[in-house]
Structure 1
Amino acid sequence: MTLLKRLTDKEATVGVIGLGYVGLPLAIAAAKSGYQVIGFDVDVTKVERLYAGTSYIEAVADTDLSLTRPSCAWTTDFAQIATCDVVVICVPTPLTQHREPDLSFVEDTARTIAAHLSADTLVVLESTTWPGTTDEVLKPLLAASGLALGQEIFVGYSPEREDPGNTSFRTQTIPKIIAGDGPQAQAMMEAFYGAVVETIVAVPSPTVAEAVKITENIFRSVNIALVNELKLIYDEMGIDVWDVIDGAATKPFGFMPFYPGPGLGGHCIPIDPFYLTWRARKFDVRTRFIELAGEINTNMPDHIVHRTREVLDRASGKGLNGSRVLLVGVAYKKNVSDMRESPAMRLMQLFSDAGAKVSFIDPHVPRIPPMREYGLYEGRQALDPDALEVGACDVVVIATDHDAIDYAALLTLGVPVVDTRNAIAKRGLPMKDVTKA
């Protein structure tokens, strides 16, 4: 039986490598659609939790794990790749310390796949990367298996579009960009993803698909940078940028609202623009607009620290050195526990460097998890918000506007509040001693 027929008849086994915010929801979606699934991860703790029926991300409920139990196996044994008909790569693509692409996870995974690959297998990359990665990095590494590309190994690219915390969309309902390397691979991509998600959108090549994904995230990055800069400008004019955006958003065409904040977080928007700027340099093309947006967004935590220092100076003449700062929310966005690239961690570092004593509350993050950066704060525990009393801190800084936070209670602490998310005003609470930043 050919691979295309196995995919069409749902008799194929799907391997998903990397069981994080992208891979685990995809594995569950593939199992729900009728495929047998093997989920691979190097983290034995994740595998143990999945076998115990306990999810570690919000997008997958424990009930999802129990419902798909007969169809799913979880393992750290990558030799089982040999039994898979489809292998999907969902591993991180971070930046180096010099803000250049770090494809080491993709490259290591591709080498592992090549070592165990069987003939008549579709290999798909979902990790966000620069246009050309599938052709120039993935395919040569898979060719080391000795199997012929386009005849025994088929390759495709389909960028992930996960949005942690978004309850309006899930993996199955988000339109899926797909591209195969050649007509046969394209047909296989359509058969596989067409069975897993509701809508597939075919584009001409993996390189185009890679560019689609990076364009989506750059679009968000530059528009967030724009409103962050507008915020700085309007602050000096005594104009509330949130009022401006709310007014502009009533226009039924030609405007899309974006909102300022303390910086960018998550696994895509703070990182992906730098993938394209790096790639563009290979073609002697400058990316001034994209780089400027990155600079503005990267500097927002410094602005928040500056505003907090001003607020403390006015309130007590004390400044940051020796002050107690209560950071509200450390996840990168509301209503999730995801800490990747969270600007709150940069704020914590900057406040600490200025001599402040920093504590935090976050209903989704009871303690700081291991992170590629900020290892100094690993294991630091959140305060119990119910135990906060008047005098517990000198200033409150709202970095992440989780819905589960009692903002009215924060106002009873009797200290200045620096609100980077407009959380207090949005809830109609008194604005006395609240500074929007």
Structure 2
Amino acid sequence: MNSTSALEQLAEIELQKEEEEDEDQSCVTDGPSTNSCSSDPSHPYYDVARHGIVQVCGDDKFGRKLIVFSSCCLPPSHQLNHRRLLEYLKFTLDQYVEMDYILVYFHHGLRSGNKPSLKWLREAYAEFDRKYKKNMKTLFVVHPTNFIRIVWNIFKPLISHKFGKKLIYVNYLTELREHLNYEQLIIPADVLRHDEKLRLAQKGGPAPSVKTPPPRPPLPTQQFGVSLQYLREKNMEAIIPLVLSQTVTYLKEKGLNTEGIFRRSARVQIIKDVQKLYNLGKPVDFNEFNDVHVAAVILKTFLRELPEPLLTFNVYTHIQDFLNVESSLRVSRCRQLMEDLPEHNFIVAKYLLSFLYTVSQQSVENRMSPSNLSCVFGVNLLRPPHGSLSLSSLTPINMFTEILIQHFPSVFGSRCPPRPDHPLTLTTQPLPRTKHCFLPIL
């Protein structure tokens, strides 16, 4: 028996031992994904997609797409064509392979009865050529076991040193918070329960989560990670936040015809540097970067880091039953929810959605239809007040956001927000109390 065969046998033994040690043999998940792809029987890979094994769930902190593979969602092998699974994985990645992306692999739930063969893994690695591997910036393996480490040793001769450096083992879900926008992750319930079980099983070891000191008070010039109210109090001359105004102005001028705008990332260090400039109150000139994706990522980052999302926690609670609203009434329901926003949120939301509506009008060139834009911005405009987004919440979020963009004139009225090169200014008089009525001085 050669060394590879011995390792394969050892891997099988380890997997069986892990199954025996796990008291809960069953895989309990939230059920099949309810996103638009997996719930549509006309989808070319509906037979695979309906299980929710592969999910695309927003961006990380630097605008890179998050793609999740959940082993616990794999059905028994006789119920799934693994060749089709490989084709579906490539089909999903092909939509994002031209940009940087992050792959999160939830290992828990892999069993002897549902795991693809090692031959399948070899074929998968061979078929994912350089275009897939180059732009995958990190592979997070969550809840690794001895089985994973043995399999890694089997594949080590095939894997380049550069690709190997992208692998990061994550023992507890809390560790992902250091790297990703955790709230956007789609985490099956079975994985959450397993993580809790591991944490409770710790005996005398350090807690998996590291205590952090209380956050420092924000700088007077802080732009990221502070509320709309804070920004307005510190800069009484502008209702539209500086970051939003400047990125929209630049993107309207330079980015409307850029294919894949908002779907591609930018260099992480550049994004960090731009955020630092903004937070220190220093000027930012996006023309210096010669890359429209820098401004696009900064815009998404600003929205994502608001302590309360732009469309508020209250709206999130109302749209969870959005699918139950009759199609003919959805636009009016959206209008009602927008009118109920706090006045400042309404003004800023109208400004942003007007811009996204303009972007969608150029979708022939930029490939960003209202549907595509909703997938990008939905999770940045709405999120629950506690915990992470669930599988079932994504569909109403995206549908709601798509209607806001596609039917912007009907939802927000015929009056458009002021041009971004003439930001709203305030007089010393308070805003008129008429609901969502304001008098800009241009």
Select the structure with the greater relative contact order (CA < 8 A; seq sep ≥ 6): 2
Q: What is the TM-score normalised by the length of structure 2?
A: 0.34
Q: Which has the higher strand share?
A: 1
Q: What is the TM-score normalised by the length of structure 1?
A: 0.34
Q: Which has the higher helix share?
A: 2
